[in-house]
Structure 1
């Protein structure tokens, strides 16, 4: 299939980010008569023309089911679909047969919880989670704990929003069998030292599950180097279509885990007296997948690879520094999460304004931020707040947008004071 390539242009030794921004058609919109300032990429990333074109071309020229037909369209669809698995595997430095396609991180973690953990946990065992986990890395473990008699332990954080690593290592006691940890906090932007954490867990015989939803879209991720047992991530946050994502798992786990879902594609042979399952990763991919979505995700990987993840990370750190410095000058504004190493996520509150009201007033100025608990109730409880506003940046944002955002915050503050 053909693909539209991004249009970065060398400019004084770097990337012309204005040209890159032009690849994203939605960013040209106006909201309430004002230019859109999209600061909600931690919620979902915008899609470049290359991704939109790949999905469109599939439906226009190649639409067929995968792995079920020998006709030309079926072979084209299967080739393109599996090519996306190859691209992701190279992008993350893993084997393709260890990469299970899912609808996103939530399904991926549930797959681990029910297929790996449920048959193994017993009363007296423990699951160690961090205070900063997304609900998707809390609720599945609670459900499995209820069914097995295991219990949840919590690794706490500092007021700055960093993991207390000494306390965390001390909590890795013999009854802990599974550790769930986010690579990057979706609320605080904290980048956790997952390589060190997973090394310590492995030394103690604890299986590690890393939520990479907020890491893979914004920085180079080498899963093999991290040394975890499972790594989950979501496609729609990395410029891909919704309903896409994957679970990486060590091959020895995939070999011993039973299927999570049953149906077509995950089988080799079915008889009424038993079924022979397909090899991993297909053993865990029941039913017709989101074919067009994963082809679009492959195009998103191509796009990000062309930019270079080191360039993406550097650009976002530059924007983060600008936004943090400018926001710190606003009277009555409180930034929550000041870790030394952060991704481009800023949670904040403005004195005298509820987070939802603040987000609504910002929207009237064309600024899109998220408000609420961000699927992280335990973290809100730690900071003693019901909700925050969150501005999350991406490489396609601009310094001018940050200035418009800060100006909008100032206008809202004057309205509320």
Structure 2
């Protein structure tokens, strides 16, 4: 894909209505997974990947979605008759997207065929699949999380910090097992690192590993020194349930990776935990919105009072909150006022060029569903301002006219 095409794709994705978490791949994601609240039909992004960099089947995707939600008591494995269907969404409010259409084509949740680009949600028949959102795993990479669990220097756990060398006896055994070759590339290397840093073992959920269980050969491996930072940033992982297939999130500056882990451990429990952590960091989607919503609200107020006619420029408008404020403001300004009949009879607000992944036939299949929208408080406020000004002016003119007539009458009587 050329640079121009990539830039165009990024623009289309922004118009699509979601802001991808900055921890997701730098490549433009074209496989988006949403969870839809069936009561309000609110779509929440729970996963984003680039199919060109990480081809994924629905079978693998279903397992990954379960992994990132497994920390919740209501989570359960995704199995047939659950299916994936394409959906179309439109903007509704600050970091809020509403379902606008559902495609007719279904994709079985246990297929080994790569999932084509699109925006999808899970269904059971014609109903949304009750799959929970979120997980108890921290959305931080090993590098960022390690200081939170840093033990005092006089604590025995301090020797097992992520950046500290692996104990000599484990390092020697790992080099012997791996034949001195990087497990990701097959190149010679003397660098040995942890699969799960022992100091973070208590943060792995589920299951939590005792520190003593982490000090074993299965929890260390040989890696090229130029890949160490990428691994500690959770940009590389191996999937034990897929034959230890290597998964890379984003571009890596190194020779090509192997298809599968070169040296296999006797147990995959640490690699399984590593993959779960990597997915919670790199696969999950629009968590940024919940942090930036108040900022976006304030920027919308600024746009509203200034009566912006052009898209403003500047550093604060180039942030996720700034872009979302502009998007919401323009959507609201072009929206329709709230009629007296309540929600029924609302005119459909102009749809953003939002669905860069669903086909026209998919949208046509459920065109009636596109008429269910929420007019946000911003839309209502913006559309009421002209009426308030009109009625205020009319009342002022009425008082002036009455006063003028009264004065004129008094002059005539004199």
Indicate the structure (1 or 2) with the bigger Cα radius of gyration.
Answer: 2
Give the structure-1-normalised TM-score.
Answer: 0.22
Q: TM-score normalised to the size of structure 2?
A: 0.23
